């Protein structure tokens, strides 16, 4: 009896513990099993080199319900990843933007702009201003920050009194140029307009001081020596004398107090201060041959070329180049041939030509704005093309690349620069770039 009872208990126990019988899985069940093992394209990120996945699933279940009830379950999954030989994509270098600077560099030419201290420190514009300055130009011109001071530049006194020099603002521009591998055109060492008391470029202590002629010569030459010594090896080119005016009294302070010899004395001091610097005589309205200013500048160039100074046993000329200011009225511009003729005549006199201050004033053009900008663009192109065609012109400097600064030079309605007040390039910019591109293509 106990043995029967024990047999019944064993059978009941085995029946309760054994899994219930199930049917052999169908194809759809097998597919579900594969999907669970191998992730689909939508479930996993696709690598650059996509692997091939193979999954095999086998599920076998056999069950025999007997008194001893034996159950067998087998599940096998095989996952194989075979990498392909697809190469990784090759990285292509981003082409460098074509700028005025990149094209000028190709032909060994200086394309420059006056850069002002305020543009680098005014947080509203400084980032964009600095980017355009360094991207588009390989030469930086320092203007007001190197002037003596005066009512025209009340916040830019480099020499507030006879014994004090303040270089901080000019130093900032020099550091910017050095950081961006730009050469520097420095000016103006000697400049004396004082006909308008509300717009002078010399300090009161100088103009109102009771200095003798010899004292003024010493003050002028000391100024030149001090500035050029401070920037020795940093500024490569200087406007030594700017806009001499011998025609009338009451216009040029230095001419009135010292006489025409001040020009020669200034260049002597500059050459002794830095024998390796490029020294320029700069003037305005001197771009059409035969005009009063070109005639005077030509005679001055010839006189200076007949003089030299000896430094450490070597003979150095006083003058290297003539600076030509192209403040052009878009309603009455010079022709390309007129400009080229003037440049070539100065070259024949033995000096190089530097376009130091270029702006095209559109205020007198009575046409629609799009047409106005196209006229301006053509004039800029002609000026630069004449410079390059002459083969004696070594640089082309815009006196402020944006209307935001040039309006203070030629008027708020002049719109004289290649970039507008929001730093957008105007047709004039692209015209300048096209001219440089033409000459760069010839170099290939």
Q: What is the pLDDT of residues 324-352, one digit of tens each?
A: 999 999 999 999 999 999 999 999 999 99
Structure-token pair, residue 306: 């007949």
Report residue 48's pLDDT band, with 50, 70 and 90 as the boundaries. Answer: very low
What mean pLDDT is predicted for residues 143-158?
89
pLDDT digits (tens, 9 = 90+) for 194-223: 999 888 999 999 999 999 999 999 999 999
What mean pLDDT is predicted for residues 432-439?
99
Is the confidence at residue 433, as pLDDT, over 60? yes
432-to-101, 385, 436 alpha-carbon distances in Å: 11, 9, 6
427, 428, 431, 436: CA torsion to nearest 10: -140
Enumerate residues 6+ apart whose C-beta is below 8 A from 355.
Answer: 323, 324, 326, 383, 387, 393, 395, 396, 397
Cα gap 118→425, rounded to integer Å: 21
User: How confident is the model at residue 95, as a pLDDT?
Assistant: 74
User: How confident is the model at residue 90, as a pLDDT?
Assistant: 61
Cα gap 186→114, rounded to integer Å: 10
Instruction: Identify the weakest region by mean pLDDT among 126-135, 181-190, 195-204.
Output: 195-204
Say how many CA atoms lie within 13 Å of 160 toward its Cβ: 7
User: Nearest CA to 228 among 266, 257, 282, 180?
Assistant: 266
Q: What is the pTM (predicted TM-score) of this model?
A: 0.79
pLDDT digits (tens, 9 = 90+) for 152-164: 888 888 999 999 9
What mean pLDDT is predicted for residues 169-194?
97
SS3 content of the chain, % helix, strand, coil (to 5): 40, 20, 40
C-beta of residue 335 within 8 angstroms of C-beta of residue 381 = no
**Strands 70-82, 314-317: parallel, antiparallel or unpaired by DSSP?**
unpaired
Is the confidence at residue 361, as pLDDT, over 50? yes
pLDDT digits (tens, 9 = 90+) for 218-268: 999 999 999 999 999 999 999 999 999 999 889 999 999 999 999 999 999
Q: Distance between alpha carbon 85 and the CA centroid of its chain, in Å?
A: 45
Percent of the chain with pLDDT over 90: 73
């Amino acid at each position: 009896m106990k043995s029967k009872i024990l047999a019944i208990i064993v059978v009941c126990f085995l029946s309760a513990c054994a899994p219930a019988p199930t049917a052999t899985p169908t194809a759809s069940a097998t597919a579900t099993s594969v999907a669970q093992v191998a992730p689909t394209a939508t479930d996993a990120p696709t690598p650059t080199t996509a692997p091939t996945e193979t999954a095999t699933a086998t599920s076998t279940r056999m069950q025999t319900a007997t008194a001893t009830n034996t159950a067998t379950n087998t599940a096998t999954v095989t996952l194989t990843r075979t990498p392909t030989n697809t190469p990784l994509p090759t990285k292509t270098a981003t082409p460098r933007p074509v700028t005025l600077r990149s094209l000028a560099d190709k032909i060994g030419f200086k394309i420059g702009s006056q850069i002002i201290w305020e543009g680098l420190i005014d947080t509203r514009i400084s980032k964009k201003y600095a980017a355009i300055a360094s991207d588009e130009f390989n030469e930086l011109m320092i203007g007001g920050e190197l002037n003596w001071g005066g009512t025209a530049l009340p916040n830019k006194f480099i020499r507030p009194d006879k014994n004090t020099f303040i270089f901080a603002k000019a130093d900032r521009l020099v550091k910017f140029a050095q950081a961006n591998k730009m050469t520097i055109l420095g000016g103006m060492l000697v400049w004396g307009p004082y006909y308008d008391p509300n717009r002078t470029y010399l300090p009161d202590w100088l103009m109102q001081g009771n200095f003798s002629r010899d004292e003024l010569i010493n003050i002028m030459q000391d100024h030149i020596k001090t500035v050029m010594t401070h920037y020795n090896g940093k500024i490569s080119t200087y406007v030594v004398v700017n806009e001499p005016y011998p025609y009338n009294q009451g216009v040029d302070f230095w001419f009135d107090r010292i006489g025409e010899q001040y020009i020669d004395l200034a260049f002597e001091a500059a050459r002794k201060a830095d024998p390796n610097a490029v020294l320029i005589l700069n003037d305005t309205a001197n771009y059409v041959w035969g005009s009063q200013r070109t005639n005077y500048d030509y005679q001055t160039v010839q006189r200076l070329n007949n003089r030299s100074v000896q430094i450490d046993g070597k003979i150095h000329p006083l003058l290297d180049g003539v600076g030509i200011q192209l403040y052009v009225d878009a309603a009455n511009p010079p022709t390309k041939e007129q400009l080229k003729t003037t440049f070539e005549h100065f070259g024949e006199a033995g000096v190089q030509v530097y376009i130091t201050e270029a702006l095209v004033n559109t205020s007198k053009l009575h046409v629609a704005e799009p047409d106005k900008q196209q006229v301006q663009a053509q004039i800029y192109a002609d000026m630069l093309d004449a410079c390059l065609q002459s083969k004696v012109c070594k640089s082309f400097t815009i006196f402020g690349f944006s209307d935001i600064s040039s309006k203070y030079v030629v008027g708020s309605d002049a719109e004289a620069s290649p970039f507008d007040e929001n730093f957008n390039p105007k047709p004039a910019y692209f015209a300048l770039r096209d001219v440089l591109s033409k000459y760069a293509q010839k170099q290939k």
